[in-house]
Structure 1
Amino acid sequence: MVEKHVEQHRQLADGWARASIFGMADGLVTNVSLMLGIAGSHSATHDAIRLAGIAGLVAGGFSMASGEYLSVRAQKELFEREIEIERRSLAESPVEERLELVELFEARGVDPDLAGKLADELMKDPELALITHTREELGIDPSSVGSPWRAATGSLVAFAFGAMIPLVPWLVTSSGKPIDISVGLGAASAVLLGGGIGRLTGRGVIRSASRFLLISGFAAGVTYLVGHFVG
């Protein structure tokens, strides 16, 4: 039970859940807005709107994946650098590092004698001492450092899934302008996604769903008007 609980926290910490949730939200809002912007133009054709949706899905998906990869990669490299510095300190200055452990334990209310014994036991195992130092002193958990490729993949798949929703009506029909179906699917998905975010974060489901629907609708509405008056 404890291991399962810890693993759930690790999944949130490594960027997978965050990238997936917000990637899907970005994909939905981006493609709804993009396609409605094109649809608002007086000269828009079915093929042009469909092509815009496909291009938005591909370009946006890889843009999100690239940004997520670079972000998580930079964070991972920073963590690894700090961990390596701490590793060298343990090897070169074990006495000072032991004193730091004692001070850390005492600062958390541990009896001085017990703090010294705990520090001595930890220093017998270099890897355990390293993990303790990085967690307590630097606030870094070596086991929860995220995978850049995993975060990038999650972001790409999630964005593509969200962007596909308003695109489906334009792919299954070869004529006309199924804008009403596209808008309806986008609105329903915004409510479901917003509610899911609210449930995941512990916020009110209705409040979160309404907020996301309002934001999505505003973005799509503004883009449609721009396309209508400019196009």
Structure 2
Amino acid sequence: MPSDKVRADHSPDAIRRRISSDPDHSYLRDFVYGAIDGAVTTFAVVASVAAAGLSNGIVIVMGLANLLADGFSMAAGNYLGTRAEVETREKRRRDEEDQIQSHPEWERDEIRQIFALKGFEGKMLDDIVEVITSDDKRWVDTMITEEFGLSLHTPSPWKAAGVTYLAFILIGMIPLLSYVMGYIHPGLLVEEPFYAATILTGVAFFSVGALKSRFVGKNWLTEGLGTLGVGTLAAGIAYAIGLLLRPLLDGVA
């Protein structure tokens, strides 16, 4: 039997409010994207520098530089990409408005073909075409979603960029914590901060995946381990590169 909440969500008034209001955008993708990339790239710096045998101070400097510069680059890229989606939709809207004004019969025939392919025919198809084409905004909206496959609503470019940058900084700082704390309070943590950074970063990877599972309806353990596996692979590659390049640094020294 459906619960009281399910019944309430499917009442006529609830359905009407949900359909008539603009959808709430989830910025989970932006958070997960920024968090995982922040942890991966920062730990990659830590792993490669540690494998190359450089000092802890260099780890901190390069790690912080990566956090600020690469995080900003990611946020800017996300902003520009999201804004491009908005601009693409608006251009399509202007084009469709012009075509409806100049060639309404051609555009009306496109609506007919779109819904004929969905299985509508006869009088029902005629009625659908008549209803949609009787309102220019509804007509254009239908063409945007059905012909071009674009959404009528997109996330805010500024919010998408902000969430990405915030997640990058917050989670990306974790691999550096043991080094920063060791610098501020020498001897407070373990003598080998790289080991602590490895453990903390693994926990961060797993936590991000487990958190994502709550929003996508998947098993938290599976998602956590999957994210941990991806991060471990990236970190392993960075560490291996550091080992391979170490002889070059020894030669310089």
Which TM-score bucket, shorter chain as reference? 0.7 to 0.9
Pairwise CA RMSD: 2.6
Q: Is the 8 A contact 1:35 1:49 kept in 2?
A: yes
Structure 1 counterpart of 2:94: 84
Alignment partners' CA distance in 1, 2:116 and 2:44? 56
Percentage of matched positions with identical amino acids = 25
Moved more, 194-203 or 33-42: 194-203
Structure 1 counterpart of 2:222: 207
The secondary structure found in structure 2 opposite 1:173 is helix
After the TM superposition, list the runs of 4 or more consecutive aligned residues in structure 1 that deviate by more than 6 angstroms.
5-9
Structure 2 counterpart of 1:11: 25
Alignment partners' CA distance in 2, 1:214 and 1:5? 40
Q: Is the 8 A contact 1:102 1:112 kept in 2?
A: no
Moved more, 17-26 or 190-199: 190-199
Structure 2 counterpart of 1:167: 176
* Deviation per residue, 1:157-191 (Å, 9 max, x gap): 12112211112222223235422221111011111
In the TM superposition, what are the counterparts of 1:60-99 in structure 2 within 5 Å? 60-99=70-109
Structure 1's 149 and 170: CA in aligned 2 closer, same or farther, altered over 3 A?
A: same
Structure 1 counterpart of 2:4: none
Structure 1's 108 and 32: CA in aligned 2 closer, same or farther, altered over 3 A?
A: same
Counterpart residue identity of residue 126, structure 1:
D
Moved more, 49-58 or 211-220: 211-220
* Deviation per residue, 1:126-176 (Å, 9 max, x gap): 11111122222222232x233322222222112112211112222223235
1:191 partnered with 2:206: yes
* Deviation per residue, 1:101-142 (Å, 9 max, x gap): 233233322342232223223323211111122222222232
| TM-score of the superposed pair, with normalisation by structure 1 | 0.84
Structure 1 counterpart of 2:147: 137
Partner residue of 1:157 out of 166, 175, 186: 166
Structure 1's 215 and 5: CA in aligned 2 closer, same or farther, altered over 3 A?
A: farther
Instruction: State how many pairs are aligned.
Output: 226
Counterpart residue identity of residue 133, structure 1:
M
Q: Is the 8 A contact 2:48 2:243 kept in 1?
A: yes
Q: Is the 8 A contact 1:19 1:154 kept in 2?
A: yes
Q: Is the 8 A contact 2:39 2:172 kept in 1?
A: yes
Larger Rg belongs to:
2
Consecutive unaligned residues of structure 2, counting only runs of 5 or more, are 1-8, 10-14
* Deviation per residue, 1:47-71 (Å, 9 max, x gap): 2211122111111101111221222
Q: Give the CA deviation at 1:74.
A: 2.5
Q: Which has the higher contact order (CA 8 A, sep 6+)?
A: 1
Q: Give the CA deviation at 1:10.
A: 5.4
1:124 partnered with 2:134: yes
Counterpart residue identity of residue 205, structure 2:
A
Structure 1 counterpart of 2:234: 219
Structure 1's 132 and 189: CA in aligned 2 closer, same or farther, altered over 3 A?
A: same
| TM-score of the superposed pair, with normalisation by structure 2 | 0.77
Q: Give the CA deviation at 1:86.
A: 1.0
Counterpart residue identity of residue 223, structure 2:
S
Alignment partners' CA distance in 2, 1:6 and 1:27? 38
Structure 2 counterpart of 1:147: 156
Alignment partners' CA distance in 2, 1:65 and 1:204? 29
